């Protein structure tokens, strides 16, 4: 299908005049080429047309985002009024606010699509220009696209706020409280885990669908959420034979994955030493993920053996830490240090992404995570290049969390083309997935990739010549994972542009859920 036709099919009619005039600019390119050779005057006039279209689109997005922020603020104040006035806090009023928030959420989704469609249109025009004229406008235009970044417009902040307000409406004025990790040890649960790739065109829609059923999980509700809160960085360890890679890929008994993880900025003092073990022998063959926290200043000494598990345990005893916790941390620390030493493990690969997690507080039956901006960055010295300074450091000091990391050398970085959705469902109590989740994962919006591993994927990209075995899913990268849009699935609009969720109005969905809850 020609892109001009594809663009027309993706236009949201009420905003049609604000899209890039793709056919007009393409016509200018073609007619001038047919009429005469491309001149400096043609180039200046075409560049002026491109600049005008970019400004038009960017200004529209900025205005819409401002409008969305104002509508969210209005909903927040109205909900606060309902909370403070019991006589006004009726189910009907909360339902009205729920519908208003749903309408805003649909606009966020439409604006996200609008942004991606127009960014793609501009990229297509630049490519055609360079092909037909022999010039390199695409590279020269990078600075303008950074100044008016259509590919970086972030809608996460709006989604987080809408989710929090939706949660209050869902609970009729009460905000969900509690610790999402409270209760039993998370490793004690049997979980059915499934992984999916999501094309960038569908990311915001998938987030919105999940958010209508599960709130976005905020770990620290005492601080205002900011984009850096979603950042997760991990340093994976391996040796030059890639024994950990091979063990995990083949799912060998006792196969390990060892990583150091931190949340948010690189200035964070909390670093988590994590170990995943497949069929751990000390747990009668149960797979387990365990971890403990270290202050960042203690990570290097721990890694090189200068800070032992005994010393960590002794310090915890001085703080009157629970004896069982101390024993567990000592066991993990000793095991990790033994593997680092005996297997000669070194920092190999950094994996970065921004995570949106969805879960009801105090309810671990279902947890969903959506990871975007997935990026791999080399940390090793295998090719003779010293990437970490000093060389014994556990991570590079020249890399932060500023995706897309344009300052990193191209040979040191891999930007994964899709988002990764992971669902974790408790199965030890016979838990079945809710109908809305089954509908989502069977839809055109996601592409299932069983046993996808972030580390295995990054390792096989950078170190393929050293690896005898490769993951099965590499072939999936050669196909277009987008599928034809299914009828009555996902977020759509009626002929009068009213929001429809899987072909139904939001109020009808809520009434059906309430009936099911009453019958249960």
Which tokens in the block code for residue 313?
């345990």
d(CA 462, CA 416): 13
Residue with tokens 């996200």: 112
Judge whether 494 and 106 are in contact, CB under 8 Å: no
Cβ neighbours of residue 387 closer than 8 Å, sequence gap 6 or more: 378, 379, 380, 381, 396, 412
d(CA 391, CA 123): 40
d(CA 381, CA 93): 61
SS (H, E, C) 327-380: HHHHHHHHHHHHHHHHCCCEEEEEEEEEEEEECCCCCCCEEEEEEEEEEEEECC
d(CA 312, CA 335): 13
Q: How many CB atoms lie within 10 A of CB 471?
A: 19
CA angle 304, 331, 453 (to 5 degrees): 75
Report how far apart, in Å, the C-alpha atoms of 402 and of each of 34, 243, 395 are: 44, 31, 16
d(CA 170, CA 164): 10
d(CA 57, CA 273): 45
Active site residues: 454
Give the chain's end-to-end CA distance (angstroms, integer).
49
């Amino acid at each position: 299908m020609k892109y001009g036709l594809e663009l027309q099919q993706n236009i949201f009619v009420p905003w049609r005049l604000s899209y890039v005039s793709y056919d007009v600019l393409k016509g200018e390119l073609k007619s001038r080429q047919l009429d005469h050779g491309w001149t400096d005057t043609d180039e200046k006039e075409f560049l002026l047309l491109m600049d005008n279209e970019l400004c038009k689109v960017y200004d529209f997005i900025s205005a819409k985002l401002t409008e969305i922020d104002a509508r969210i603020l209005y909903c927040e104040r109205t909900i606060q009024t309902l909370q403070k006035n019991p006589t006004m806090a009726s189910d009907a009023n909360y339902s009205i606010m729920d519908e208003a928030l749903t309408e805003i959420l649909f606009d966020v989704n439409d604006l996200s699509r609008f942004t991606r469609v127009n960014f793609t249109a501009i990229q297509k025009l630049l490519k055609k220009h360079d092909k037909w004229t022999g010039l390199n406008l695409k590279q020269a235009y990078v600075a303008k696209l950074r100044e008016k970044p259509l590919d970086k417009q972030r809608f996460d902040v709006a989604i987080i706020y809408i989710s929090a307000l939706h949660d209050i409406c869902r609970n009729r004025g009460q905000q969900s409280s509690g610790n999402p990790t409270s209760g039993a040890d998370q490793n004690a649960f049997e979980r059915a885990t499934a992984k999916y790739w999501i094309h960038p065109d569908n990311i915001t829609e998938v987030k919105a669908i999940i958010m209508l059923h599960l709130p976005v999980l905020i770990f620290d509700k005492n601080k205002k959420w900011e984009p850096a809160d979603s950042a997760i960085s991990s340093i994976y360890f391996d040796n030059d034979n890639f024994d950990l890679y091979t063990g995990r890929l083949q799912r060998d008994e006792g196969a390990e994955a060892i990583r150091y993880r931190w949340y948010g900025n690189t200035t964070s003092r909390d670093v988590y030493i994590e170990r995943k073990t497949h069929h751990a022998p000390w747990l009668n063959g149960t797979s387990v993920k365990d971890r403990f926290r270290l202050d960042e200043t203690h990570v290097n000494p721990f890694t090189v053996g200068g800070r032992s598990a005994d010393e960590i345990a002794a310090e915890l005893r001085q703080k009157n830490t629970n004896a069982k916790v101390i024993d567990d941390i000592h066991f993990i620390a000793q095991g990790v240090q033994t593997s680092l030493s005996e297997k000669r493990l070194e920092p190999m690969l950094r994996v970065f992404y921004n995570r949106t997690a969805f879960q009801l507080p105090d309810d671990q039956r279902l947890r969903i995570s959506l990871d975007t901006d997935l990026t791999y960055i080399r940390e090793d010295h295998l090719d003779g290049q010293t990437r970490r300074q000093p060389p014994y450091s556990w991570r590079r000091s020249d890399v932060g969390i500023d995706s897309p990391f344009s300052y990193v050398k191209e040979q040191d970085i891999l930007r994964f083309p899709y988002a990764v959705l992971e669902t974790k469902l408790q199965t030890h109590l016979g838990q079945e997935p809710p109908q809305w989740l089954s509908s989502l994962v069977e839809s055109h919006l996601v592409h299932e990739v069983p046993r996808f591993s972030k580390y295995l994927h990054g390792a096989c990209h950078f170190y393929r010549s050293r690896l005898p075995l490769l993951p099965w899913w590499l072939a999936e990268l050669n196909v277009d994972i987008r599928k034809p849009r299914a009828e009555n699935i996902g977020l759509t609009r009626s002929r009068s542009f009213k929001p429809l969720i899987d072909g139904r109005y939001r109020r009808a969905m809520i009434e059906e859920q309430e009936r099911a809850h009453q019958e249960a």
